[in-house]
Structure 1
């Protein structure tokens, strides 16, 4: 459209205005005739844009906006624009797994509930975004539940005669009640190449002693404590106990089994997962004249169960044996308290006792919360314990401890004294890790520090041991790490997906009626993501890697099962307009999902595009999507300009591209398939672009929340005409 002799006086840009009075344009005189009146001249573009109605008034389908939830709740200007112009809002981040699920897998609905209540007041619908994606997941939680199981080793040197088990002869062992068989088999232990005792209960087995293996005599020293430990699993749910010969005061003691933590329980439970059973015998458990004892593995409670017990780690330990390890820090196991440990540096809540659920073993652990990340100053969160005595010059010392964190973290140890020692930084994760540090004493060391200020997070520390090697060395044997099988991981992740989707759909069943169920499943070449693309982002987790191609089938079935029958369920992806192969691949995947019995209502095309995006491909994309027969949604439309300070010409081109996209959507997507268009973001304000397209200007309002030329292009596209042609030429003072 041409304008003749329009010379509005503006401070910096044709498109910027502020107060109502500023909207009154000042005009130069045309020397060819007298005074120029407003009625004789075309309206200035900025004046035209200011007179447009809200966007939603021009559309025959839903107009949505991708918003920042916190901005909507706290910024009145931002909220007013959203409420006036749109029918539907899509929270950009806050409804995703990472935002709502904590490290324990619990969902916090509080913030989204408050947001939905606010949007309901404004008459806005909320579009759920997004249930299953590879990004913005609480990857720490999801990785933790499929992480290897780390089980403590025995507490010292094994005095149990295992030779007859290792060679399969059962020398000195007695198979008193063999059930369907007690044998030693190869390659069935904790490690792939280790042996296991296989014990099979009979079909009629009903009493513990119906399947019984009896140990050799174990010598005892009066006044000493002993520990029996072994690893066990079963093909189906099982049950067992340890019983004793006449050397004990009670042959069937009720003990606190390590694997359950339940006191006063005769039996322990077994599952298909390896787990450790520990029982401790105190001096008072033995009869006064006893010099040895025997114990029985009684596994006959239940019929038709096959048990495996790892041979290499079947142990009896004399906990008070001569030369046993002497710990140079008090209270390294934290079973009842954290006495002996204090906070040198850190927040008030930095140090506390963790309950048994967060312990490596036993009834407690040391919990340390570090609120800040300062990789160069790890001492800023520092926990300290004194050594029981001054260290000796030139003697080697070993510090060992178990540690895990609720997210990826970092720890180091250091010593206090005239000259300090510093351990190198050690990476931590959600899996328990044994860390050992050796240093040579200088004779001035007074205590041990845990320095955790490098990476913010919550840490759990257990089994801290400082030894000098003079009493027989060592400390606890290393833990056993058990990797989960692919089948086990698939079940765990499937259960996690079920928990997440079922709870989200159930909770929002009366308030959210359309969802992005699966987001960005395809690669650029039109094939599916495999989960092996190598993304190292901390919030990256690939559901497809563990659940396979049917992960989306499961997701859609769950969303339908727990939501409403009339909910609109979408699959969503980007670059469909630049990679037609990807568009084809997504449509084919929808057919696959539906072929497996799920229903996909719609396809979302994000359309994060620029001025150079191929318009012909945009048309072809819409034609392909229309042919799918599904509802089609432009789900995240924005148009980049490559600068946060666009020229008037760039803004005009941006307006033309917005209008072109909308024109093509309306032209090629049949009306019954037009779900609507969502503009991704409100304005070019830097608050909206901290994480998405920084230093850009992709939106319909500028950085000061003033309508841009793009607003007019969008409205004209929605209306199917140049709306401003119907405006009066008179300037009316507000």
Structure 2
């Protein structure tokens, strides 16, 4: 047979060649560039495809092809090809999927299906709808978001405690001073009806001397609950407005807040109302209240400006509390007998003794002058707060007293929990501990996301512990000193309300109903055949895979739910198919058995009805004769199994690729004439086996994967990219005869 090529020049081409190109329909191609057309004259002798279909008036058989609905509604070449050659279109199983059909507002967009339904009105073109339910093509990330627990942040208890406003005091009431001068209640210089406290006098300024204010907190409150100190201050002229800065003393312990009276907001002879000093934040103006003072309910407070000539008024002294569900677990040695020893992780010793500074009762003496601790740490067994785990704890702190600089730097304070050693990366000196004096609350180690920079990271495997073995100390080859008030801080978690299984099921069924109902409404009366379940045997796991059955009672209940929704929302009677892809490499007979067994399980309730099978068939013509014989036997076995199921069967997405003897696929543009003819014969064989084996009443049609091929793709199609028939067209014709 001789094959020749032709140039297509639109409507001027001869009738025979025109038929080979566009199958007697009105074409929008005005001029087409020269293109290789194999056997144009021979191919022009064939009629349009649907003329070859052998069927009676009652046959359900439909010849369709995959086509994006937008190409159909465009009324161009693809539309005309469908109208003249096919009974309808198959929108494909992946054209409309939940994962790709969401508008900017997050709602499903069914506009494409609605437009298609409108375009089908008034035509005899049928449309096979897309997939209504599947584990694939889903909004998996959206469902994960919907399943996230409701988190109710812990709301801290907040309030204010009025310490002093002096209104109940008599004029002239004196408060003790820490040094010289005086502090007396007097009238407000701006309002004689109010009382304030005057610190210092014109004839004797307060020289680094402060009023002593004895505080007793309300029942249930302790000093550690408070986050700030608030007061009104009025400096007389400029006496003490600068000086050495504002100071706070609690039980004699000094805190420098980092600002003077001027920078905290005072101006000469004017009230600075509501000056605030933070008590849990060292950022000026502020300081960090040490753990050793946190439990106090009564204490002596001093606040004012440190100056050699201070003279000022105070009023409305408050403290603001914020109880954020926090607490501490403390080791303070006060309950221990003097001389009690604690085990060490290595050398040296640790013994309970009296505080050498006489400040805080009992402390732990670690190491000795002659035998300092060498990377060895005292060890404690600690029961955590009831109801709390180690994961609830946020930090650890301790007081340290370094003797003669031994261990003041080293290579980092260590925290060891159940044998897991963590290095804060900072020595006692880096934390601010002095030499031969107490550093109260200076070593504060947050539990962070890494070890170092003053923090340690608690490993995940330790966070569930309720009792721990704790060791802590200076990482040094020669550490000698005292420790006290080892304090672990915990915080109450936010309230986390997990979604119940019932709530998750409700979320999914509502979304399924929105998708299925929306698709059915959009298809209206024009689309009456659908894939109700898509790819039930798929093992694909990707970003768009979501297992509905895990939440809806299993795969079977998922399918039954989908079927019920579809039938309830359909405007007209619909036919619902289960769709599954079969690859040439599959054991097709075994896979068909799995599919039919699964469908039977759907219907065991006596209510669910599956109308048929939609088989997406991806085949390969092999140039290896032995392999090709096996390929053909698989096709026969597949249809034999499906016949036994006694349900309607559609073959859809039907494609043929050509495979070399080495197993590699050949691009369509590189397929030889002989190979194309043989691939067409294989297509004919597949179609004829379907017509031969499947009962005529159950032959619901064949749908081609595509109409025109891309030379760089692998699958063959009846038309070229320029809409010329090629030799594969003959394979379709012979398959239909």
Provide TM-score, normalisation by structure 1: 0.47
Q: Which has the larger radius of gyration?
A: 2
Provide TM-score, normalisation by structure 2: 0.47
